[in-house]
Amino acid sequence: MKTLETDILIVGGGVAGSALACALRNKGYSIVMVDQRKAPLDTARGDHFQPCNVEALADWGVLDKLFEKGAGKRIGHEFRMADGEVLLQAEYTEIPIPYPYFAVFHHDLIAEFFLECAEENSDFQLFQPVTAKDFEADEDGIKSLKIEFNDEEITIKPKLVVAADGTGSIVRKTLNFATFEHPYSHPMVALFGKRPTELKPDDYFFRYSGKTGVLVIQQRMDDEIKITLPVGKEGIPWWKSASKDDKAKVLAERANIFEDIDAEIAGFYPVRMIHSIDYAFGNTVLIGDAAHSIHPARGQGLNMGIASLPRLIKSLPSPAEISEPEKVKSVLQNYQHQQKPLYDRIIARNHQAAMDMEMGAEDNAEKFIHRQNSQIRQIQEQPDLRRLHLLEATGYPFGIPSETEPDYQA
Ligand X SMILES: Cc1cc2nc3c(=O)[nH]c(=O)nc-3n(C[C@H](O)[C@H](O)[C@H](O)COP(=O)(O)OP(=O)(O)OC[C@H]3O[C@@H](n4cnc5c(N)ncnc54)[C@H](O)[C@@H]3O)c2cc1C
| Nearest distance from C-beta of residue 333 to ligand X, angstroms | 21
Residues near ligand X (CB under 6 A) are 11-17, 34-37, 41, 44-46, 48, 131-133, 164-166, 170, 188, 190, 269, 288-289, 296, 299-303, 305
Specify the residue, 162 or 261, whose C-beta has the smaller distance to ligand X.
Answer: 162
Specify the residue, 190 or 359, whose C-beta has the smaller distance to ligand X.
Answer: 190
Under 8 Å between Cβ of 306 and 216? no
> Which of helix, strand or coil describes residue 183?
strand
Specify the residue, 63 or 170, whose C-beta has the smaller distance to ligand X.
Answer: 170
Alpha helix segments (H runs only) across 31-101:
51-59, 63-68
| Nearest distance from C-beta of residue 217 to ligand X, angstroms | 11
| Nearest distance from C-beta of residue 306 to ligand X, angstroms | 8
| Nearest distance from C-beta of residue 166 to ligand X, angstroms | 3
C-beta nearest to ligand X: residue:
14
| Nearest distance from C-beta of residue 276 to ligand X, angstroms | 12
Angle at 179 between CA 177 and CA 180, to 5 degrees: 165
Tell me which residue of 400, 297, 278 sits closest to 349, measured CA to CA: 297
| Nearest distance from C-beta of residue 95 to ligand X, angstroms | 19
> 145-149: which pairs have CB atoms within 8 A and are 24 or more residues apart?
145/9, 145/11, 145/34, 147/34
Specify the residue, 133 or 244, whose C-beta has the smaller distance to ligand X.
Answer: 133
Under 8 Å between Cβ of 100 and 51? yes
Specify the residue, 11 or 257, whose C-beta has the smaller distance to ligand X.
Answer: 11
Residue spans of beta strands (DSSP E) within 220-362: 224-230, 264-269, 272-276, 280-281, 284-286, 292-293
Specify the residue, 95 or 227, whose C-beta has the smaller distance to ligand X.
Answer: 227
Structure-derived torsion over alpha carbons of residues 61, 65, 67, 69, reported in degrees to the nearest 10 = -150
